[in-house]
């Protein structure tokens, strides 16, 4: 394995079917890594059956039959690695501890921050204007950098607002007391087909939440929606630059730009 570490924890465990389970963490910080794609590799090194890690970094990959297999752990922002062959017997559960190394690849920061900065500053002026209006009228909820520092995921912010319900599914994001369609904006541009939890709170300067149609400012109104969330990324090059690097990588390669893999 290159760029990652895998530890085999204990002996085999009896189970109803052969399974590889475990937990994936950041090799530097020890924090769980969520949304890692864990794939069974075929003989031609093509990914076959796959699962993803949950918020605790845990996964369970069922195997169709007893075999000697290799497994790939793939996600954004970590080095590519591939496991050595792992022998899994019939009805055996193999438990792995996977530690991933952060990928060193970066995009040119000057280009990223320059494009981000102008739009961000203009957008934050719009935010300041609507925030001042909301303080007078009581319409809209507004989160600042300080508020966002207290949450791990954006959906957690919705849960803190009394009477506000949140759901994300095939139909997109729904928000409000009646769970009606929500429009999401990122720096003033519509953000489509992307869960809000893919945007990290630490990269944001401010968030606007409008819970009902009567609250939505005219410049954020869209047909068919009755709630709006407006996200504004930080204008400083450190946090804002990291955000646009991640978004650029997501757009460049849908399957993930870097890979994690474990070795015994």
Encode pLDDT of 138-187 as tens digits.
Answer: 888 898 888 888 888 888 888 778 777 777 766 667 776 677 788 888 88
**Mean pLDDT calculated for residue range 14-35:** 83
pTM for the complete prediction? 0.46
**pLDDT at site 264:** 36
Q: Token pair of 29, please?
A: 């910080």
Whether the predicted pLDDT of 224 surpasses 50: yes
Whether the predicted pLDDT of 135 surpasses 70: yes
Domains of the chain by residue range: 4-104+253-261, 109-233
Whether the predicted pLDDT of 105 surpasses 60: no
Helix axes 109-137, 237-252, angle to 10 degrees: 110
Q: Token pair of 80, please?
A: 């590519």
**pLDDT at site 104:** 59
Distance separating alpha carbons of residues 134 and 115, to the nearest angstrom: 29
Task: Indicate the pairing of strand 71-75 with strand 92-100.
Answer: unpaired
The CATH classification of domain 109-233, taken from the options 1.10.760.10, 2.170.130.10, 3.40.50.280, 3.40.50.1000: 2.170.130.10
- How many CA atoms within 13 Å lie on the side-chain side of 247? 19
**pLDDT at site 167:** 78
**pLDDT at site 16:** 55
On average, the pLDDT of the chain sits at 73
Q: Token pair of 74, please?
A: 């793939």
Give the model confidence (pLDDT) of 47-90 as tens digits: 578 899 999 999 998 888 888 888 888 888 887 777 788 888 88
4-104+253-261: which CATH architecture? Sandwich (2.60)
Percentage of the residues of the chain whose pLDDT score is greater than 70:
68
């Amino acid at each position: 394995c290159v760029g990652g570490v895998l530890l085999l924890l204990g002996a085999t465990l009896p189970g109803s079917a052969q399974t590889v389970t475990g937990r994936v963490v950041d090799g530097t910080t020890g924090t769980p890594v969520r949304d890692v794609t864990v794939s069974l590799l075929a003989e031609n090194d093509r990914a076959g059956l796959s699962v993803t890690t949950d918020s605790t970094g845990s996964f369970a990959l069922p195997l169709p039959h007893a075999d000697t297999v290799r497994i790939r752990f793939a996600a954004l922002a970590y080095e590519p690695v591939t496991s050595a062959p792992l022998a899994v017997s019939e009805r055996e559960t193999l438990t792995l501890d996977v530690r991933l190394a952060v990928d060193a690849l970066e995009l040119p920061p000057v280009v990223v921050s320059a494009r981000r900065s102008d739009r961000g500053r203009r957008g934050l002026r719009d935010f300041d204007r609507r925030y001042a209006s909301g303080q007078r009228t009581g319409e809209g909820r507004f989160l600042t950098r300080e508020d966002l520092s207290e949450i791990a995921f954006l959906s957690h912010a919705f849960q803190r607002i009394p009477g506000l319900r949140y759901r994300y599914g095939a139909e997109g994001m729904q928000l409000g007391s009646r769970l009606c369609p929500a429009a999401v904006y990122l720096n003033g541009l519509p953000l489509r087909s992307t869960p809000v939890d893919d945007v990290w709170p630490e990269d944001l300067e401010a968030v606007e939440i409008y819970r009902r149609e009567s609250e939505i400012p005219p410049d954020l109104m869209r047909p068919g929606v009755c709630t709006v969330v407006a996200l504004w990324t930080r204008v400083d090059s450190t946090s804002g630059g990291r955000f646009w690097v991640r978004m650029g990588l997501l757009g460049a390669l849908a399957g993930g730009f870097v890979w994690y893999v474990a070795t015994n």
